[in-house]
C-alpha cells in the first residue's frame, strides 16, 4: 500500500515505478513493450548514468523499441514523459493518453461509416434470422448482385457469405526438402542414417521431395472517390483474405499509400475497419495511382515481395496523376512480383471498355484483368489464385478480357 507523503523511497525503487509507468505509457501509444523489457531497462541502469539524459534516452530506446516505425513515437513520448523538472530527479508527468495522442497528432478513434449512412439498430436475434435466410436461391441472387446496389442487410449477408469462401493460393516450391516418396530424389542423409545399423549396406531406401509453401499475397486497394460505392465491400473482402491466408499484406491508396496490414489483423471486421479509418486520411478523395504504386515500389516492394508474391491491385483506373509515371511504375511492379492481377469493379458492367486513361496505361503490365463487382467475381478470383501454376506467366501485352472470363 503506498503511503501518502512518504518521500524516503530509495531513488532506485522510485525510479523503477517510473519505468513501469513509462512502459505502460508506451503501450498505450501502441508500442510493443513487455514487462521483460522494463526489467532489462532497470538492469541497464546499473551501467548507465541516468544523470546523463542522452545516455538514458539511447539506452531506453535500444531496449524498449524494436520496430523502426516506432522510433519517432518513442522520441516524442520520451520528451513528454521524462521532462526535466526543477527537481534533479526525472519526474514523469501524469499519463494522459488522449493528451499525448493529440500532441503526437494521432487521429482520434472514429467509426467506420462510409457515405455517412447510419446502420440501423440491430438486435442479436436478427443475426440468427439472417443466417437462416442464406438458403440456396437468395444466395445465388446475392452472389450475382452488384456491390453498388447492396442494401445494408445485403452487406451483412454478403459479409457472412464471404466468410465462407475458402482462399488458397497455389504453392511455391521452396528450397527445403522433406521426406517423400518420389524415387527420383534420394535423400542421402536419411539414407545413410537409416542404414548405419546395417553396417552401411543400403538395405532401406529414403527419398525426399521439395517442400511447398503458400505464396505471399499483397493487395493494393483504391479508396478514392470514384471507388466509393465499392470500397466498403472490397475492404470486407480484403479483410477476409487477411484472415483466411497466412501471409497477406494490405495497402489502400487514394492520393497516398497507407499500409493497413496491422489494422486488418483484428478478427472482428467492424473493429478492423474502424482501425483502418483511423489511420487513413485520404478517403474518397482524388486518385494518383502512379504515385501510390511508386511509393509501394520504393518503400515496400523489397520488403513484401519476396518469395514469389502475388500482387492484386483493386481500382477502377480513374487516375488524376501522371499516366507515364503509372506505366513506368507498373512495369517495375510487374518485374518484381510473381503475378500481377488487376481487379476492376467496373469491368462487370455490360459493354465495359477500359477507357480510363490510368487503366489503359497500366494494362500492358497486368498479368490478369478481372472484374470485382459481385461475390461471384471474387470466387472467380479465388479459382485463379488456386491455379497459378509453377512458372511466371509469359509476359506480353494482354488483350482485355470481357467480364466473366476466368484467366
Partner 1 sequence: MKRPLKGSQSLRMMNSPREVQEALEQEKYVADQGLATAIFLALKLNKPLFLEGEAGVGKTEIAKVLASALKTRLIRLQCYEGLDVNTAVYEWNYPRQLLELRLIEAAGQKASREESLADIFRPEFLLKRPLLQAIEDNQPKPPVLLIDELDRADEEFEAFLLEVLSDWQITIPELGTIRASRPPVVVITSNRTREIHDALKRRCIYYWIDYPTFEKELAIVRTRAPGVPERLARQLVAFIQELRRVELYKVPGIAETLDWAAALAALDQQDLTEEAVDSTLGVILKYQDDIARVRGNIVRELLERVRQAEAVP
Compose the 348-387 pattern: x for residues touching partner 1 by CB under 8 A, - for all others. Answer: ----------------------------------------
Shortest separation between residue 250's beta carbon and partner 1, angstroms: 14
Integer-rounded Cα radius of gyration of the chain: 27
Shortest separation between residue 367's beta carbon and partner 1, angstroms: 21
Q: Is position 229 an interface residue for partner 1 (rule: CB under 8 A)?
A: no
- Nearer Cβ to partner 1 (308/371): 308
Q: Quick one: three-class SS letters along 276-328? A: HHHHCCCCCCCCCHHHHHHHHHHHHHHHHCCCCCEEEEECCCCCCCCHHHHHH
CA torsion 341-346-350-354 (nearest 10°) is: -70
Out of 17, 43, 271, 390, the residue judged to bind partner 1 by CB under 8 A: 43
Q: At what angle do helices 53-64 and 71-81 cross, to 10 degrees?
A: 140
Out of 143, 145, 320, 332, the residue judged to bind partner 1 by CB under 8 A: 332
Shortest separation between residue 157's beta carbon and partner 1, angstroms: 36
Contact of 385 with 349, CB cutoff 8 Å: no
Contact of 260 with 239, CB cutoff 8 Å: no
Shortest separation between residue 75's beta carbon and partner 1, angstroms: 11
Q: Is position 35 an interface residue for partner 1 (rule: CB under 8 A)?
A: no
Out of 32, 79, 268, 271, the residue judged to bind partner 1 by CB under 8 A: 32
Shortest separation between residue 246's beta carbon and partner 1, angstroms: 10
Compose the 280-309 pattern: x for residues touching partner 1 by CB under 8 A, - for all others. Answer: -----------------xx---xxx-xx--
Shortest separation between residue 92's beta carbon and partner 1, angstroms: 21
Out of 15, 20, 21, 48, the residue judged to bind partner 1 by CB under 8 A: 48
Shortest separation between residue 271's beta carbon and partner 1, angstroms: 21
Query: How far apart (Å, rounded) are the C-alpha atoms in residues 59 and 79?
Result: 14
Provide the terminal-to-terminal Cα distance of the chain, rounded to the nearest Å. Answer: 69
Residue with cell 501518502: 4
- Nearer Cβ to partner 1 (152/298): 298
Rule CB under 8 A: which of 192-211 touch partner 1?
A: 192-193, 196-197, 199-200
Q: Which residues pair with 249 in a beta bridge?
A: 218
- Nearer Cβ to partner 1 (62/141): 62
Query: How far apart (Å, rounded) are the C-alpha atoms in residues 205 and 21?
Result: 61
Q: Is position 138 an interface residue for partner 1 (rule: CB under 8 A)?
A: no
Shortest separation between residue 58's beta carbon and partner 1, angstroms: 4
Q: Is position 176 an interface residue for partner 1 (rule: CB under 8 A)?
A: yes
Q: For residue 347, count other CB atoms closer than 10 A to its CB.
A: 24
Distances (CA, A) of 233 to 20, 134, 191, 223, 314: 42, 18, 54, 11, 12
Select from 362, 382, 4 the least CA-distant residue to 164. 382
Q: Is position 188 an interface residue for partner 1 (rule: CB under 8 A)?
A: yes
Stretch binding partner 1 (CB under 8 A), from 77-85, 94-102, 143-151, 189-197? 189-197
Q: Is position 49 an interface residue for partner 1 (rule: CB under 8 A)?
A: yes
Query: How far apart (Å, rounded) are the C-alpha atoms in residues 289 and 369?
Result: 16
Query: How far apart (Å, rounded) are the C-alpha atoms in residues 158 and 4?
Result: 58
Name every residue whose Cβ is closer than 8 Å to that of residue 28 and which is 6 or more positions away in sequence.
95, 97, 100
Rule CB under 8 A: which of 55-114 touch partner 1?
A: 55, 58-59, 61-63, 65-68, 71
Q: Is position 136 an interface residue for partner 1 (rule: CB under 8 A)?
A: no
- Nearer Cβ to partner 1 (210/382): 210
Alpha carbon of residue 44 to chain centroid: 35
Shortest separation between residue 73's beta carbon and partner 1, angstroms: 13
Shortest separation between residue 176's beta carbon and partner 1, angstroms: 5
| Residue 60: exposure state from Cβ atoms within 10 A (0-12, 13-18, ≥19) | buried
Q: Is position 34 an interface residue for partner 1 (rule: CB under 8 A)?
A: yes
Residue with cell 534516452: 57
Residues that bind partner 1 (CB under 8 A): 32, 34, 36-37, 40, 43-44, 46-49, 54-55, 58-59, 61-63, 65-68, 71, 174-176, 188-189, 192-193, 196-197, 199-200, 297-298, 302-304, 306-307, 332
Amino acid at each position: 500500500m503506498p503511503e501518502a507523503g512518504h518521500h524516503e523511497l530509495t531513488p532506485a525503487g522510485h525510479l523503477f515505478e517510473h519505468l513501469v509507468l513509462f512502459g505502460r505509457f508506451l503501450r498505450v501509444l501502441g508500442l510493443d513493450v513487455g514487462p521483460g523489457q522494463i526489467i532489462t531497462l532497470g538492469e541497464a541502469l546499473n551501467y548507465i548514468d541516468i544523470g546523463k539524459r542522452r545516455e538514458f534516452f539511447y539506452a531506453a530506446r535500444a531496449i524498449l523499441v524494436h520496430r523502426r516505425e516506432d522510433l519517432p513515437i518513442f522520441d516524442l513520448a520520451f520528451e513528454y514523459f521524462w521532462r526535466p523538472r526543477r527537481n534533479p530527479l526525472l519526474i514523469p508527468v501524469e499519463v494522459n493518453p488522449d493528451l499525448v495522442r493529440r500532441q503526437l497528432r494521432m487521429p482520434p478513434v472514429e467509426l467506420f461509416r462510409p457515405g455517412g449512412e447510419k446502420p440501423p439498430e440491430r438486435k442479436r436475434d436478427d443475426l440468427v434470422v439472417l443466417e437462416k435466410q442464406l438458403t440456396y436461391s437468395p444466395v445465388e441472387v446475392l452472389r450475382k448482385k452488384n456491390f453498388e446496389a447492396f442494401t445494408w442487410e445485403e452487406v451483412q449477408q454478403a459479409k457472412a457469405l464471404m466468410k465462407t469462401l475458402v482462399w488458397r493460393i497455389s504453392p511455391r516450391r521452396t528450397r527445403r526438402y522433406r521426406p517423400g516418396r518420389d524415387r527420383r530424389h534420394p535423400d542421402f542423409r536419411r539414407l545413410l542414417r537409416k542404414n548405419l545399423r546395417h553396417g552401411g549396406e543400403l538395405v532401406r531406401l529414403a527419398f525426399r521431395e521439395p517442400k511447398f509453401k503458400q505464396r505471399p499475397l499483397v493487395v493494393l486497394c483504391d479508396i478514392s472517390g470514384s471507388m466509393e460505392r465499392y470500397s466498403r465491400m472490397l475492404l470486407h473482402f480484403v479483410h477476409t483474405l487477411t484472415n483466411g491466408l497466412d501471409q497477406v499484406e494490405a495497402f489502400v491508396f487514394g492520393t497516398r499509400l497507407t499500409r493497413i496490414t496491422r489494422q486488418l489483423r483484428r478478427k472482428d471486421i467492424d473493429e478492423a475497419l474502424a482501425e483502418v479509418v483511423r489511420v487513413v486520411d485520404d478517403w474518397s478523395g482524388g486518385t494518383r495511382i502512379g504515385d501510390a504504386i511508386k511509393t509501394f515500389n520504393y518503400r515496400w516492394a523489397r520488403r513484401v515481395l519476396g518469395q514469389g508474391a502475388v500482387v492484386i491491385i483493386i481500382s477502377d483506373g480513374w487516375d488524376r496523376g501522371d499516366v507515364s509515371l503509372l506505366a513506368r511504375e507498373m512495369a517495375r511492379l510487374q518485374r518484381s512480383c510473381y503475378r500481377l492481377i488487376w481487379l476492376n469493379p467496373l469491368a462487370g458492367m455490360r459493354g465495359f471498355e477500359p477507357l480510363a486513361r490510368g487503366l489503359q496505361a497500366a494494362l500492358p503490365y497486368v498479368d490478369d484483368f478481372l472484374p470485382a463487382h459481385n461475390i461471384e467475381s471474387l470466387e472467380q478470383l479465388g479459382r485463379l489464385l488456386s491455379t497459378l501454376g509453377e512458372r511466371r506467366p509469359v509476359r506480353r501485352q494482354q488483350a482485355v478480357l470481357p467480364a466473366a472470363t476466368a484467366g
